Amino acid sequence: MTENTERLLKKALKLLPIERATIVDRLVSSLDKPDKTIDDLWRKEIEDRIDAYESGKMETVSVEEVLAKYKDK
């Protein structure tokens, strides 16, 4: 880590939690650039899942079953 980065990090760690969270959110957002191809693939996947659910082709599990399954783990 460079000296500038180290100094910046030390200053950032002194900020309030909400201020640090805002910085983290902005930094992560700057790394995550939109990708139309990926967005289109996810949109199709979501539409396919909704169609499968609405047509009864998707096996579903109640929230109670899921919670019971992981409660003892």
What are the mean pLDDT values of the chain's consecutive 10-residue runs (73 residues total)? 95 97 94 91 97 95 92 77
List helix spans (H) across the chain: 3-13, 17-31, 36-54, 63-71
CA 48 vs. chain centroid, Å, equals 21
User: pTM of the prediction?
Assistant: 0.50
CA-CA distance, 44 to 55, in Å (whole number)? 16
Beta strands in 1-73 (DSSP E): none
* Rg of the chain on CA atoms, in Å: 21
Instruction: Identify the pLDDT of residue 10.
Output: 96
Instruction: Identify the pLDDT of residue 42.
Output: 97
Instruction: Identify the pLDDT of residue 33.
Output: 85
Instruction: Identify the pLDDT of residue 65.
Output: 92
